[in-house]
Amino acid sequence: MTKVFPNGASSSLTDATQTVLTVWKKSMLLNCEGFTVFDANGNLAYRVDNYLAGNKAQILLMDATGNPLFTIRRKRLSLADSWVVYEGESGVNPRFSARKQMNLLKSKCLARIVEGSWSGMGMCTYEIEGCYGKRCCAVYDEKRRIVAEIKRKEAAGGMSFGMDVFRLVVQPQIDTTVAMALLVLLDQMFGSSSTP
């Protein structure tokens, strides 16, 4: 069986300019939905486990030991598809708010993310473009620099992992944990688990 994560010999995937994570769209727990994320050495870096598979309204991003890093909640009763990201499990003072771009025919933008809440909305903090279904997305910051990318992952020998295993390439201008939260947001908006 092909390894999902890179081995130690490929440590060149992590250098001073970027961090590359291998994302596996599979929970470590039975009967759960989520992600298992490895660093370049094959060590567990992040987990996303949705213990209530029917509940898509709240997702928890955890570190390797299960400590909560971000809680991602879908806003109910909003005119646009909106999500709020809180640090830890607090549910107080959102760190980010995200909106799914509704008119995909006229824009390459999939989602817009602002610091805090939309009510105190200033300039967009991050904008995500591309196609999540094809695992080909770029996250831009307010200066239009690419700060993170989602890319397909190929196995040794040219074999394909399919869409359940892919790479998250994170530049130093963005925290890796924030990039992971944005990836979870995209999956909630456009993944197979999302509702139309």
Residue 1 lies in a domain: no
Structural domain for 91, as ranges = 8-190
Task: Name the E strands within the chain.
Answer: 19-24, 33-38, 44-50, 58-63, 68-74, 82-87, 96-100, 109-115, 126-131, 136-141, 146-152, 165-170
Residue 196 lies in a domain: no
pLDDT tens for the 196 residues of the chain, in order: 455 555 443 433 445 689 999 999 887 776 677 899 999 999 999 999 776 555 567 889 999 999 999 999 988 766 668 899 999 988 788 899 998 887 656 678 899 999 887 665 556 789 999 999 999 999 999 999 999 999 998 777 767 777 889 999 999 999 999 999 999 999 988 876 444 3
Residue 56 lies in a domain: yes
- Locus of tokens 């660093």: 39
Residue 98 lies in a domain: yes
Residue 3 lies in a domain: no
Residue 195 lies in a domain: no
Which residue pairs, CB below 8 angstroms and at least 24 apart, start in 42-51? 42/3, 42/5, 42/6, 42/7, 42/8, 45/21, 45/176, 46/21, 46/177, 46/180, 48/184
Residue 77 lies in a domain: yes
Into how many domains does the chain fold? 1
**CATH classification of the domain holding 45:** 2.40.160.200
Residue 21 lies in a domain: yes
Q: What is the pTM of this model?
A: 0.83
